[in-house]
Structure 1
Amino acid sequence: MRRRPGGRSARVQAAVFEATFQLLEEREYERLSMASIAERAGVHETSLYRRWKTKEQLVLDAVNHRVVQEVPVPDTGALRSDLIAVLQSLQLFLQSRVGQALFQTAGATLHLPELCALRQERWGQRRAQLQILFDRAIARGELSPQVDCQFLLEMLSGIMYMRLFVVNEPVDEMLPKRVVDLILAGQTNLIAN
């Protein structure tokens, strides 16, 4: 028998992810447990452990699923405005409880090689989704094909992480524009001649 997309498995995952987000809104990441997620989602705890071995793995999957929704790949017609839109969405996401949980999960799992590998895999998938921004910019002649797009993404998003999670400085609505303008203007080798 063929499985239908959007069947029971998808409904269970949606319920589990929603329960995870609700609980993250209500309590700190450290107080989150597989048992509380299962109870809130209305599923057996064993169902969670069949899909996710640890709380960290579940939270990483849930948060990555939410990132795709809340940090969409824009198409404004120009690289600068596309990058600003990405950073604006990222800023809002990282300031949310779910975004903060992503950072806490990353810190809590640095010593677990399998979860580091999972984070790298998810980042690779997200980077591939965002690559279209750079492909379009290259096709429009806005960006040199020699640009290291991964490095550019890391520079752009790294400032947000630094401000929000390391130095805990205020992030105003102008920061995404300032960051993009500084990086694009300061890196003349990024721009196609």
Structure 2
Amino acid sequence: MTVRRTGGRSARVRDAVHRAVAELVAERGHGAFSVADVAARAGVADTSIYRRWGGLEALVTDVAMTRLAADFPMPDTGSVAGDLRAYAEGVARDVRGPDGLAVLRLVVALSTAGPEGLAARDRFVAERGRQFEAMLERARERGEPAPEALDIVDHILAPLYVRALFGLGDLTPGHAAELADRLVAQSRS
């Protein structure tokens, strides 16, 4: 049985490679760089990348899914309004971050990049749906009216992502909170 260490050189290589992918996506866009480019940027041998990820598409998928899973925690503030507001503000903050837009573009590209990209997208959407449902179920247990999970996509994520992808204005915490507040008000009526 092989035991994987979670720290040390392996973690440093993974972090350097993930950072290199995000930087290359931001600079060149998805599909405009190779494993050799990533390896050179990360300061590792391309054989390390092939050994760990198998190829560029698997690596890019891992970067996108890891970032999305880590960067969008589900808040638990004690109210559905607080949870949705905190979530929306977190999404806006992440997309405005140093490589947030690049990762968002990468996820969009992956969803059209064949079976592996579609499978990764489906895994992420399913997991995010479970997380939304857990947050909304907590609200229902408290007796609060709660929107549907897809309403979060329609009323919070879609407007934030469209603004970010098309450069349609700054993603301020105030704007994100306003989107959440509108959704809460709609679910109460």
1:173 aligns with 2:168: no
CA contact (8 A) 1:63 1:99 kept: no
Q: Which residue of 2 aligns with 1:44?
A: 45
For residues 50-77 of structure 1, the C-alpha deviation after alignment (integer angstroms, 9 at most, x for no partner) is 4435534423321322233332221211
- Runs of 4+ aligned structure 1 residues displaced above 6 Å come to none
Distance in 1 (alpha carbons) for counterparts of 2:20 and 2:14: 10
Question: What is the deviation of 1:100?
Answer: 1.6
**How much is the aligned-residue C-alpha RMSD, in angstroms?**
2.7
Unaligned stretches of 5+ residues in structure 2: none
Unaligned stretches of 5+ residues in structure 1: none
Q: Which residue of 2 aligns with 1:102?
A: 103
Q: Which residue of 2 aligns with 1:90?
A: 91
Seq. identity, %: 30
Q: Which residue of 2 aligns with 1:125?
A: 127
For residues 130-180 of structure 1, the C-alpha deviation after alignment (integer angstroms, 9 at most, x for no partner) is 433112112111135xx532x123122111112221462333331122111
Distance in 1 (alpha carbons) for counterparts of 2:167 and 2:187: 25
CA contact (8 A) 1:56 1:105 kept: no
Please identify, of 36-45 and 86-95, the stretch whose mean Cα deviation from structure 2 is larger. Answer: 36-45
TM-score by length of structure 2 reads 0.79
1:12 aligns with 2:13: yes
CA contact (8 A) 1:60 1:102 kept: no
Distance in 1 (alpha carbons) for counterparts of 2:33 and 2:89: 28
1:174 aligned counterpart, secondary structure: helix
TM-score by length of structure 1 reads 0.78
Please identify, of 158-167 and 102-111, the stretch whose mean Cα deviation from structure 2 is larger. Answer: 102-111
CA contact (8 A) 1:21 1:98 kept: yes
1:75 aligns with 2:81: no
CA contact (8 A) 2:25 2:102 kept: yes
- Residue 57 and residue 4 in structure 1: after superposition, are their counterparts in 2 closer, same or farther (change >3 A)? closer
CA contact (8 A) 1:59 1:102 kept: no
Q: Which residue of 1 aligns with 2:159?
A: 159
Count of aligned pairs: 185
The amino acid of 2:88's aligned partner reads L
CA contact (8 A) 2:25 2:103 kept: no
Question: What is the deviation of 1:111?
Answer: 4.7
